[in-house]
Structure formats: C-alpha cells, structure tokens
A = this chain, B = another copy of it.
Amino acid sequence: MRIVEVRELTVPLAGTPANAVVSFAGHTVSLVALVSDQIREGRPVTGLAFNSIGRFGQAGILKERMIPRLLAAAPEDLQASDGSAFDPAAVLATILQGEKPGGHGDRSGAAAAIELAVWDLNARLAGEPAYATIARAFDRTLDPTEMRLDVPVYAAGGYYYPDDSIGRLRHELERYHGLGFDAFKIKIGGATLDEDCRRIEAALTVAGAGDRLAVDANGRFDTEAALACGRAIEAFGLRWFEEPGDPLDFALHQAISKAYSGPLATGENLFSVMDVENLLRYGGPRSGIDIFQMDPGLSYGLTEYGRMLDLLEQYGFHRSGCFPHGGHLINLHVVAGLSLGGCEAYPDVFQPFGGYSERCRIEGGRVTPGEEPGFGLEWKEGLAPYLEQLMAGL
C-alpha cells in the first residue's frame, strides 16, 4: 500500500454575500489530495485536507520541499505496523526531513495539510468518519461514556461596520442565532474602549448572558492597553477575552492573567509543542479557567496537536479547555474524536472552507459531524468545484 501522487490546489478565500466588511483579498488555502494505490469502485482512495483558514496556502513549501520527500520515501516506512493504514507520525517525520529546529511558521501549515490528509485517507480506507479514526488512534474509545458527538459550537464574527456599526453588529448576531447558534464571539480592539463596551452591551442583548459572548482582540494590544481593556470589560463576566496581545509575548499574557479574573484564550498563533510549552512555562495560564485554541491545521497536523494535548495534561490542564481555531469540518472531527471543549464557526466568511456541511447538524448550540467517510469535505457547499479540479482524471 502506498501513496502514488500528491496534488495541491491553492484556493482563494471569500466572504459570503452577507458579509461585505472583512476583506479576504489575498487569503488562500492549500487543498491537498493524497492519492493511494488502493482502488475502490474504480477510483483510487484519496485523502483530502487543507491547512486551516485565516493564513495562506503553501504551494511553494509543499511542492519544493514536502511532496518530493514524501514521494521519495519507501512505502513501508509510511505504513502502520500491520499494513492496514498509513502512519501519520511517520508521514510527518518524512515531510520534515532536513528541516531545522525553530522557525515554526508557514511550514507548519504546509505540513499540516499533508498530515491531515493522511487521517482522511485512513478513515476512507476504514470506511468510517474521521472522528472515529481519530478517537481510536488516540485511545479515546476506551471510555465511550466520555465521547459525545454533538460538540459545543459558537458563531464567530462580530465585525466593525463603517456605518450604524452597533445596529449592524446586533443584526449579524441575530442572524447567527437564527441559524441555531446560542453563543457568539465579536471583535474588539479596533475602536475606543468606550465604543467597544457599547458593542459588547449590544451583543449581550442577543447573547443573553456574559458566558455566551467572547471577545477577540486579535493580538492588537500592548500590555498597558490590554490591562486597561481587561479592567473595562471584567464586569461583563464574558465567556473569554481572546488574544489580548502578541501571541509570543508570554510576559504580557502573564500580566493579564494576574489582573483579569475571567477566562483568557490564546494559542491559535502557536504552531509547535515548543511554543505551547513556553506559553505554559511563562504565560501564566490558569487551569480550569483559561482556553487553548491551537489549530492542528496550522501546526503540523494532528500528530503534533496530540503532543500538545499530552503536554497540557502533564501541566495539569484538561482538554475540555481546548477550542481549536478554524471553524470547519476538519476541526469538527478533531473536536468530536478527541473530546475537546468545542468548535468555532464562521457562518459568513472564510468560504468555501468555513462552516459545516449539510451532513452535519447544528442545533441548541451544538454541532454533530456527519457519518460519511473521512472529513466529508465533498459535502461542504462550495468546495465541490475545487475538489473536482484537484482530483481531475483520477
């Protein structure tokens, strides 16, 4: 059993017609196909994945470095010991041959696209949804009572609008509520503190309670501004305060964690176990309070993400505090398979990758993955034309 071909297609991201505010010009995603030599119903079984959303496609690193290494490997070195599946950790080690330590940036997304496609490929070979493959590989099914397939989900968005900003913000969240969401996340840090507090108050009229509303500063604040923001919003009792400052400024994070009593969330811009360990050592996260948002699709895939979970547990944290960045089908299967805290969803943006498929069910603030094999990307609205292009001739 072997991988005979690897294909990559760089796909541009777009908002939906409902969102005219956020520009995704230039944002792209690498869609990857791992074509195996196993034939089912006349076509090769093929693993499909992509490197999450919000950053960039990685055609250069994939085509120049990682795909040639993968295709040059001995097939037996990429298989699980019983030959029934591919070994994601072995594939990851292969595509990272000759890469130096440190510098966990774009290459971590490139590697993730391939590594995640191995999980999709294994799930298709086993004829099961990816969450089942993931749960088995990480020994999660040993405790079936812990496994719940309908996972908490919140709707992220809450953008700034050029006019009637607060009215349109409320309208945006009301629309998400109509789609089945009962928790929300909005942007802060792009206006004065007073204005941001008025936006939070408006959002709370839809969310109904502080623990149903998170705020995301996207790393904009320095320490002083982050502390000031924390003081201003603390009384709202929000679900969490996300990325107050630079994701690598662990001293800033520690200062806020000492001053702000509510939950803090960070991690979507930490792309390796070593960076996460530095957050744990120096950033002062609080067990049972703070939220971790590392995203397998940006950080070398599920093999490295599993190591991050092990590390969190060694440091006394629980996986229920993990809400991976990237509201899409792949992370839904990861969250369900690993019994993490929950998912995000971006109903309006990051198309055609953002959000879930018609095979998933969203209700009562929870989302349930479908039962089709793999991640089920072929069921996601808008992805079909790109998948056809990627797999043409197979």
List the interface of chain A (C-beta within 8 A of B): 10, 26-28, 54-61, 63-65, 68-69, 98, 100-108, 218-219, 246-251, 269-272, 274-275, 277-278, 281-282, 298
Contacts and interface: CB of A to CB of B under 8 A. Distances in A.
Given A103-B108, A103-B271, A282-B282, 7 more contacts: A26-B69, A27-B98, A59-B64, A101-B248, A101-B269, A105-B271, A248-B275
B278 A281 contact: no
Contacts of A249: 274, 277
Nearest to A243: B101
The number of times this chain is found in the oligomer is: 2
Contacts of A250: 278, 281-282
Given A105-B105, A106-B103, A274 B251 contact: no
Contact of A107 (B28, B101, B105, B281): B105
A36 to B, nearest CB: 25
Given A60-B58, A64-B10, A251 B281 contact: yes
9 contacts: A57-B64, A60-B63, A61-B106, A101-B246, A102-B248, A103-B108, A105-B105, A246-B274, A249-B277
A100 B55 contact: yes
B56 A65 contact: yes
Contacts of A28: 64
Nearest to A282: B282
Contacts of A54: 100
Given A278-B248, A281-B282, A103 B102 contact: no
Contacts of A10: 64
User: 10 smallest A-B Cβ distances: which pairs?
Assistant: A60-B60, A105-B105, A102-B269, A103-B105, A102-B247, A106-B106, A248-B274, A101-B219, A101-B246, A59-B60
Given A26-B65, A60-B59, A104 B101 contact: no
A115 B107 CA distance: 21
B105 A270 contact: no
Contacts of A272: 248
Contact of A105 (B63, B106, B218): B106
B102 A246 contact: yes
A63 B281 CA distance: 38
A106 B103 CA distance: 7
Nearest to A58: B60
A135 to B, nearest CB: 29
A269 B105 contact: no
A60 B274 CA distance: 26
Contacts of A298: 103
